[in-house]
Amino acid sequence: MHKTMMAVARGMAMIGGAVLSLLIVLTCISIAGRSLNGILHSDFVMSVAPGVARWLIDLGIGPVNGDFELVEAGVAFAIFAFIPLCQITSGHASVDIVANALPRGVNRFLRMVIEVTFAAVLVLIAWRLYAGMLSKQSYGETSFLLQFPVWWAYAASLFAAVVAALVGIYMAAVRVYEFFTGRILIWDGVEVEQ
């Protein structure tokens, strides 16, 4: 089961990374186009080469239309796509100053509580994303510039959030089992062998 969950988490992280990389390229192209458009509209270029400047402007040199809408939707998906890998590898930030001084049983209890709480929060987020998606879908809301249905972005984020919730539930079940049996199933570097 752990290999399957790890493969799913890594796959989601790779998809999220690919989406984020495409958004970076899109943003760079948009910024370059915006800058070049500003230069083409400058008094200097218009006085030196007005025909070339007008020709390039007419070609569409400028920012990518709706770039911020695509970035907004894509980043939301990417964030949820990275959560499963972070969850299954215990990659979340933690402050262990006090926890290191506590007995092993207390630390296992704290880890169990944290994992169960995190799983509950991930399920809550997925549920509310689903409700938000249905709301956007029923009202037919579209983005301002590109006019794509807003629920598409919610659906993509919902897919990633559901995967994150499933991984969260799996990790909560693992930590509950570890707490009650005293056996560590998933070593993540936090445990200390005695």
| pLDDT for res 191 | 58
The CA distances from residue 158 to 24, 26, 128, in Å, are 22, 23, 9
DSSP character string of 75-117: HHHHHHHHHHHHHHTT-S----TTGGGS-HHHHHHHHHHHHHH
Report pLDDT for 4.
93
* Model pTM score: 0.84
> What span, in angstroms and rounded, lies between the C-alpha atoms of 70 and 47?
36
Give the pLDDT of residue 189: 60
pLDDT of residue 127: 97
Structure tokens at 134: 């249905």
Q: pLDDT by residue (tens digit) across 184-194?
A: 888 776 555 44
Per the CB < 8 A criterion, the answer to whether 21 and 62 are in contact is no
Please report the pLDDT score of residue 194 as a whole number. Answer: 43
Task: Compute the Cα dihedral for 105, 183, 6, 152 and give only its sign.
Answer: negative
Handedness of CA 163, 164, 165, 171 (dihedral sign): positive
Report the pLDDT value the prediction gives residue 84, as an integer from 0 to 100.
95
Residues of the chain with pLDDT under 70: 95, 189-194
CA gap 173, 190 in Å, rounded: 18
The pLDDT of residue 19 is: 97
